[in-house]
Structure 1
Amino acid sequence: MPGRVGELMAHHIRRHPEAPALVAPDGSLTYAALDRRATALARRLVRQGVRPGDVVLVQLPRGVTLGVTVLGVLRAGGALCVVDPSYPSERIRHMWRHSGARLALVSGPDAAPEPGPRLLVPDTVRPGQLPADDLGPTGPELAPPLPTDLAYAVFTSGSSGGPKAIAMPHRCLDNLVAWTLAGTSAEPLRTLMFAPLGFDVFVQEVFTAWCSGGCLYVPADEQRSDLQQVLELLSRWRIQRLFVPPVALSRLADLAGTLGPVPEDLREVAAAGEALRITPGIRELFARLPDARLHNHYGPAETHVALAHTLTGPPRTWPDAPPIGRPVPGMAAHLRPVAGRREDRASQGDTELWLSGVGLAHGYLRDEERTDRSFAPLPTEEGTVRAYRTGDLVHRRQDGLLEYAGRVDDQVKIRGYRVEPGEVECALGRHPAVRECAVVAWEPPAGAERQLVAHVVSEAGHPPDPAALRAHLAALLPDHMVPRHVVTATALPLSPNGKVDRRRLPAPSVVPEPSSSAPGPGGTPAGGPVADAVARLWTEVLGVQVTDPGHSFVDLGGTSLSAAVVVTRLHARYGVRIDLQEFLRTPTVGALSALITERAGA
């Protein structure tokens, strides 16, 4: 591996070979063991023809093997492209086809959805399975790639019907890790692998841990999806560094404040993925963690972190909406008037943010036209630079800090994930019952979790079934891109220029078909005062009227994040503990109210 990342890892391997590098459900590795196995895999990849800059797909679950493989691919000079095995098979096939990968590393013979060269990774990382000359001091030469060679590719939502792959060179990885350690802490901190597989923050988590000599802790998939278990792991593993989307941070703070435990070892917390809002729960959590710092990281996947701001002073004085800060070293921010500014998109004084510097991606893999649209020459006072047009609206405060003010287009963030509504609309349009559709983000009242809503006009004689449409999308898209609500209409509202007027699309007001249980007086579920209280809480959290004790929390738009709000508020009111997974196994008003009644009376 070239550059700063390779140097830092080599330094810690030499100085502390027996220090723990990785702890996962299926085992653990010291730095020496990680080094040996990753080097052996790298030599195996070179024998298979991998050369600097070649894309290598990695489709593996979280665990020891994934950690070894990530490092081994980069050691071989390959460009890492991690594919989440839990994605729908069609999306995985799209990623395989559009990555242009030379080789794929998979967990078994049935894991590959497309023909082509592949290695079964478990056989390449077990010590007993590796060729002797790959394990020994000699073997194929591992030629270091150049800083401009491709290091990793990240797929993100695309507006034209499928995900797009962003090509990040080694100089970006070097700058990202060097800045993260300099801007937070270079100490060997225990770091949690929390980011989704294959996302840009995943790379930051892994190499921030290893380049500081720290240990990377890997939860099982079922643990990561349950914030209550995540909170317990933060305490059990004494995690010190955490990268987390703001909505998940808010839910973890609420859980810590009601159910506990408080993760007392946290020192560095970086929020990224969407706009950070400081909630009362976040203020309370950091007031109880005086040694912890909260960092607001901003940057699209095309640059990773480009601006940052660290909150200072007592948490009670923190602004509700912190600024996104100033450019990190090696990056520059350029503010330009919004071309064709629409009054509903940009307020007076808002400008569009362009980014330039060493953190800029090469562009989009195998898509020169899209690259040329998004990355363009930009005249500045210092001369013309290559810059990325973010589509984000910002304004500069008097102290020079930048504040996020929205988007110039329809792109949205859902639970920290970037979503292009156009990609969801393309997938929805493939259903035979759909004639027209529009997908928007909906902000429920009372600060509930932002949700996607699909507005659908059906083909004549084919009334759409919302459940069938959601099942159709679930087979094509990741969970965060599947709309939680489907609103049917006879026509979509149009603006004077003939485009869909998204501002006039109504909020969802329908609920699933009623179960056999009848609603009580006033539209609340029958079942007594506890059931009434649960229904009112669901209505507040989800933003839709709950009238039936048989309605499913998930069908109403609930997620594990919104479920965390429910269990914390119920604990505060009734003093009973209900685990998230326990709730989500039978997520109805009737089942939950019966459980509360049973435990409250015990």
Structure 2
Amino acid sequence: MTWASNIADLLAGHGIRPGDRVAVTGPRGAAVVAAMLATVSAGATYVPLDVEYPVRRLEHMAADSEARLLLFSGDEPAFDLRAQAVRIPDAPDLSDQEAIAALSRLSCRPDLPVYVIYTSGSTGLPKGVALPHRCVDNMAAWQWQHSVRPDLRTAQFAPLNFDVWFQEVLGTLCGGGTLVVMPEFLRRDPIALLDWLADHRIERLFLPYVALHMLAVAAEAADSLEHLALAEVNTAGEQLVCTPAVRELFRRLPGCRLNNHYGQSESAMVTVHTLTGSSDDWPALPPIGRPLSGCEILVDPTEPGEPSVGELLVAGAPLSVGYLHQPELNAERYVTLDRTTPQGHRRAFRTGDLVRVEGDTVHLLSRIDNEVKIRGVRVNPLEVDACLLEQPGIVEAVTVVVDIAQGSRQLRAAVTSDVGVGEFDAARVLKALTELLPEQFIPVSITVLPELPHTPSGKADRAAVAAALAPSSP
């Protein structure tokens, strides 16, 4: 009996049946992975609850998901539950071959939800979205088939409630690779992370752009990177910016390739762009690439005369079942199309992302609700970020739109710097931007912060930055 099989027997003993939901919580580690595999093998739906989240958020997720059971490792949960809590049993002795064989026997029905994951909601509480086998299987199969090797040693970097966690775990185990669980504190310590990657001979890494940039900055202080075994880096969750530090990192890792992934919690992985050739020639804002097999993308133009620019819609294999207990939101975001698509689909997800399509390649522009025109000119804040990050002394940069009066908006930027606040010359940086960008793209101010706020998944929290930079009320 394997570890996952033992846990599956425990679930059956507690009356868990196909279609039930099982919540799982605990520190990052093999126990959580085994509990996920056991839940899926029982035909139930896995609901991750990240112990790093606030108690109120966890209680909402546990209640909203209607989980029938909670499996936990480590300390007993500190939040109130409506379900029985059961400790995950210890691991038995088993070989890697037994574990892989057990994984290959997991039950699979295309429409059966594999997991429910919670994403930000406009009400201040997260909303749950259910991802079925046809979606998750498509993502996992693509991952191990597309990688430089299917059996790579992969770091388990993503937080429990981030959808990339499933790409790391399933994309590695399904290809016969080794998943190396990373200590939680390393997510916030790029210098120590660099040493850990070398010590554990990590070959594949998934991380958000912000974390990649900070890792690249940390690597600049290293005399050599020959001790690293990295063969593949995958970034997702937000627009990739090829900063000077990122270019230098891959210049010093000529055997390592960089994949830019795109997807949402509601549609898993949709497109990918692999950067090739000299990193010196990479664009500052790489495209998000082409759709995976089984995925169809559509563009709903936002303006007449520009059919290649508009909101991105996703159809086919990546689509989730929908939001839990949110019929109005499902009707708004998961739409029935007027006519069948070229690949035979009638249902699509409105991503809310503004894109431009050139040939068969997709470029991410911004969020539809963050699209801004300054004096009649469409401005992409990400392009401003990229130019800021080219300036000496700037480590991180986020450009946001702030409302200064009704109908009046401005661009403002927040940065972190490796020079003292009193030594940072914002006027010099703004002058440098005028040589790179049109007038409408220049932020009215640059504010140096001790650190930029981030979401739990590691993305830059643009809403928090905008709130911090907004003008004070009179």
What TM-score do the two structures reach when normalised by structure 2? 0.77
Question: What amino acid sits opposite 1:350 in the alignment?
Answer: V
Q: Distance in 2 between matches of 1:558 and 1:392?
A: 22
**1:390-405 paired onto structure 2 within 5 Å:** 390-397=351-358, 399-405=359-365
**Equivalent residue in structure 1 for 2:177, among 206, 210, 214:** 214
Structure 2: segments with no counterpart, 5+ residues: 94-104, 373-383, 430-444, 456-474
Is the CA contact (8 Å cut-off) linking 1:276 and 1:322 kept in structure 2?
yes
Is the CA contact (8 Å cut-off) linking 1:492 and 1:505 kept in structure 2?
no
Which residue does 1:289 correspond to in 2?
A: 253
Change (3 A) 1:170 1:545: closer
SS of the residue corresponding to residue 87 of structure 1 reads coil
Change (3 A) 1:260 1:58: farther
Which residue does 1:369 correspond to in 2?
A: 328
Q: Distance in 1 between matches of 2:371 and 2:112?
A: 30
**Equivalent residue in structure 2 for 1:544, among 422, 434, 447:** 447
**1:35-46 paired onto structure 2 within 5 Å:** 36-46=2-12
Structure 1: segments with no counterpart, 5+ residues: 1-34, 129-141, 413-441, 456-490, 496-500, 510-531, 547-552, 561-602
Shift of 1:237: 0.7
Q: Distance in 2 between matches of 1:508 and 1:233?
A: 30
Question: What amino acid sits opposite 1:407 in the alignment?
Answer: R
**Equivalent residue in structure 2 for 1:356, among 315, 337, 356:** 315
Higher strand fraction (1 or 2): 2
Which residue does 1:463 correspond to in 2?
A: none
Which residue does 1:73 correspond to in 2?
A: 39
Question: What amino acid sits opposite 2:355 in the alignment?
Answer: V
Change (3 A) 1:160 1:241: same
Q: Distance in 2 between matches of 1:315 and 1:507?
A: 27
Change (3 A) 1:178 1:349: closer
Which residue does 1:467 correspond to in 2?
A: none
Which residue does 2:167 correspond to in 1?
A: 204
Q: Deviations over 1:259-314 (max 9, x none)?
A: 36626311111111111111112222112222211111111111111011111112
Change (3 A) 1:299 1:507: closer
Larger Rg: 1
**1:232-243 paired onto structure 2 within 5 Å:** 232-243=195-206
Shift of 1:101: 1.1
Change (3 A) 1:349 1:210: closer
Which residue does 2:146 correspond to in 1?
A: 183
Shift of 1:161: 2.4
Q: Distance in 2 between matches of 1:268 and 1:206?
A: 15
**1:471-482 paired onto structure 2 within 5 Å:** none
Q: Deviations over 1:423-445 (max 9, x none)?
A: xxxxxxxxxxxxxxxxxxx9699
**1:63-462 paired onto structure 2 within 5 Å:** 63-107=29-73, 110-122=76-88, 124-127=89-92, 144-259=107-222, 262=225, 264-338=228-302, 350-378=309-337, 379-382=339-342, 383=344, 385-397=346-358, 399-410=359-370, 446-447=388-389, 449-450=396-397
Stretch deviating more after TM superposition (283-292 or 162-171): 283-292
Is the CA contact (8 Å cut-off) linking 1:270 and 1:295 kept in structure 2?
yes
Percent identity reads: 37
What TM-score do the two structures reach when normalised by structure 1? 0.62
Q: Distance in 2 between matches of 1:315 and 1:533?
A: 27
CA RMSD of aligned residues (A): 3.4
Q: Distance in 2 between matches of 1:163 and 1:404?
A: 25
Question: What amino acid sits opposite 2:356 in the alignment?
Answer: H
Shift of 1:157: 0.7
Question: What amino acid sits opposite 1:544 in the alignment?
Answer: T
Q: Deviations over 1:218-257 (max 9, x none)?
A: 1221223211111111111111111111121111112112
Shift of 1:111: 1.0
Shift of 1:126: 4.8
Change (3 A) 1:535 1:203: same
Q: Distance in 1 between matches of 2:125 and 2:371?
A: 14
Shift of 1:143: 8.5
Q: Distance in 2 between matches of 1:201 and 1:363?
A: 18
